[in-house]
Amino acid sequence: MYEFKIKIYKKDGVKWANQKVRFYIGYENLSEEQVEFKNAVTYNLENGSIVKTKLDNQGTFKKKVNEYWKEKTITLPNVKEGSILEYSYVLKTENLVKLPDFDFQYEIPVNYFECKTEIPEFYIYKNIVTGKQAIETDSKIVNSSNSFDNAYGRTNVMWYKQINNLFTGKNIPALHDEPYINNIDNFKGSLQFELERVRMPDQPVKDYTMTWDGVAATIFKDDHFGKELNKGDFLDDDINRLLANVKAPKERLEVIFRFVQEKMNWNEKNGYLTDLGVTKAYAEKTGNISDINLILIRMLQKAGIEANPVLVSTLENGVPVYPTRIGFNYVIASAEIDGNQILLDASHKYTALNILPLNLLNWKGRLIKKDGTSKEINLVPEIPSKEFSSLAAAIDERGILKGKIRIQRTDYDAYDFRVRNADRNQENYLEKLEQELGNLKISEYKLENKKTNMGEPISEGFSFESNNVSEIIGGKIFINPMLFFANSKNPFNQENRQMAVYLGYPSLKKFTMNLEIPEGYVIESLPGRVKIALEDKSVIFTLNVSSDGNKIQFSSLKEINNSIFAAEGYQGLKDVFQKIIDSQNQKIVLKKA
């Protein structure tokens, strides 16, 4: 049973009148979990008296979230500033291997919590605490008993030792959503309980502690997973046609990947178990994540390429803290050619070899093989995605800049661009781009590889004209060398940080400019050379400026070599970005000759 008491201090706190609880219904051999709300009451102080308003039966609702989860909700009545809410609910489950989690950190502060467990000595659980909050634990072993009717209808009593645990905590701070995080639930304070061992009287001890190898082997044996990878005769005709003149393994992989990616359509359902099954999904050209990627794996295997499934947890699903089947909700393909591993997801239209959907860049996956073995796979790319911007321009005596720009993006920068602009027409895109680049005027726009050659860089080029990149003061022209690519605001502007900074993937951004100054002007001063870096080289920024006659050459390079930065290093990250912004505000100064 869970019991809550909440005080509403502010108007925005009224939303806490709405409470919801999810419960699992996806068991194969156990009954569905059940939730029942009880004792839901709102207290208000009115005219010096306490007014108590109970929730009636009309305030409870239940809905199916998906095939694995349902959700029950209540809305407490008469909630306003100053109200005190009380409610409880009972969650019934037959799942003794994984008890329900107990969360003790929310987006509002918690004055006090306690969690009591009373567990017979026959069941040994491992207690796991997530988050950064210190809690207190008190354990006692007491005598207990349980009455039951035997086979002859007589009442028997079983006496045993019972382990009583009390977990308590005070003054738990609110966990606020912050920019640049992967999943806030990964950081909140929570108690989790995993069954390690069962030791019933007169029976052998049974260990339940699961390993990742055990989880992987169990999943592989599932009829909707491993058995699906034994099917594939229906693929033979297409494989023979596709690979008739393709011999090199890498080319065979690319041909099959593109074929599956173009043929199959994702039905918006995740999961590592098949929905329709590979045969039906292939015929209907649609399926869930598992349907599509198991088809890809089977086609690669039949083409003579070593390929295996990789279990993944999406960012939304969180990071699996310990071995558990529900820790995964996605499956991708891994292929090995000449000792090199290639990760693949054919369910999305803009992915490529080793380019996965961004919500899969979540710590580790687990590759599993038919023999039951498994190994960790790093999902976060080690090679930075690149964005190269090159500009050739001339500025006149009025401070108007005209020139050409070419921007090239690789890997995840290219993938992100394609996804964000997939359905946007060019006119709308250019209108927004002009605004983002300081209201310049764009003409002669060209875009390459937006919807073709997904593994290749995406390039855009255009001519431009701008009168917003310089200032004329006292006859001198002042120019920001980064032009409209300069950052004016530090993305890290919090005073303190609770959670790690998540940037998704390493990146490298390079900007180069060749600038011709107006006739009759000379260079009075140029920005100095800059090099800024964090101590561990996880962020490096360099800036160089030189001149030759009436030409100025400028280049800047920003490398971010980590995808995650610990909260403890936030101040250093914030400081280095501020130094980068300050360095970009140096000016090129031109004066009349």
Domain residue ranges of the chain, discontinuous segments joined by +: 2-207, 212-378, 385-592
Cα distances from 336 to residues 55, 249, 539, in angstroms, run 59, 10, 32
Decide: 260 and 278 in contact? Cβ < 8 Å.
no
List CB contacts of 124: < 8 A, sequence separation 6 or more: 195, 196, 197, 198, 199
> Looking at the chain, how many residues does it have?
593
Query: What whole-number distance in Å separates Cα of residue 277 and Cα of residue 333?
Result: 17
Looking at residue 429, what is its pLDDT?
A: 95
Looking at residue 209, what is its pLDDT?
A: 67
Decide: 295 and 274 in contact? Cβ < 8 Å.
no
Level-2 CATH architecture, domain 212-378: Roll (3.10)
Decide: 63 and 70 in contact? Cβ < 8 Å.
yes
Burial class (CB in 10 A: 0-12, 13-18, 19+), 56: exposed
Nearest Cα to 365, choosing from 386, 338, 346, 344?
Answer: 344
| CATH of region 385-592 | 2.60.120.1130
Looking at residue 299, what is its pLDDT?
A: 98
CA angle 257, 259, 260 (to 5 degrees): 70
Looking at residue 165, what is its pLDDT?
A: 97
Looking at residue 324, what is its pLDDT?
A: 76
Supply φ then ψ for residue 326, to 5 degrees.
Answer: -80, 0
Query: What whole-number distance in Å separates Cα of residue 523 and Cα of residue 482?
Result: 17
Bridge partner residues of 386 (DSSP) = 508
Cα pseudo-dihedral 145, 150, 155, 159, rounded to 10 = -20
In the numeric block, which tokens belong to residue 126? Answer: 């491992």
Q: Which residues of the chain have pLDDT under 50?
A: none
List CB contacts of 533: < 8 A, sequence separation 6 or more: 539, 540, 541, 576
CA angle 15, 319, 138 (to 5 degrees): 75
List CB contacts of 125: < 8 A, sequence separation 6 or more: 99, 117, 119, 193, 194, 195, 196
Claim: this prediction has a pTM higher than 0.85: yes
CATH class of 2-207: mainly beta
Structural element, H or E, at residue 367 = strand 364-368
